[in-house]
A and B are shown apart, each in its own frame.
Chain A
Amino acid sequence: ETGVTQTPRHLVMGMTNKKSLKCEQHLGHNAMYWYKQSAKKPLELMFVYNFKEQTENNSVPSRFSPECPNSSHLFLHLHTLQPEDSALYLCASSQDTRAGSEAFFGQGTRLTVV
Chain B
Amino acid sequence: GENVEQHPSTLSVQEGDSAVIKCTYSDSASNYFPWYKQELGKRPQLIIDIRSNVGEKKDQRIAVTLNKTAKHFSLHITETQPEDSAVYFCAASRDQAGTALIFGKGTTLSVSS
Contacts and interface: CB of A to CB of B under 8 A. Distances in A.
Given A42-B103, A45-B100, A105 B95 contact: no
A42 to B, nearest CB: 5
Given A43-B106, A45-B101, A100-B51, A106 B43 contact: yes
Contact of B106 (A4, A42, A90): A42
A114 to B, nearest CB: 22
Contact of B31 (A2, A42, A99, A103): A99
B97 A55 contact: yes
Interface string A87-113: 000100000111110110111100000
Contacts of B101: 33, 45, 103
B61 interface: no
A50 interface: yes
A111 B113 CA distance: 35
A2 B42 CA distance: 12
Interface string B29-69: 01110100000001111100101000000000000000000
B43 A56 contact: no
A105 B105 CA distance: 17
Interface residues on B, range: 20 to 34
Given A90-B44, A105-B44, A97 B103 contact: no
Contact of A56 (B31, B100, B106): B100
Given A42-B103, A45-B102, A90 B43 contact: yes
Contacts of A102: 34, 46, 49
B73 interface: no
A35 B101 CA distance: 10
**In the complex, the 4 A-B pairs of residues with the closest C-beta atoms, listed nearest first:** A55-B98, A99-B32, A43-B103, A99-B95
14 contacts: A33-B101, A43-B89, A44-B103, A45-B100, A45-B101, A48-B100, A55-B98, A55-B99, A90-B43, A99-B31, A99-B95, A102-B49, A105-B44, A107-B43
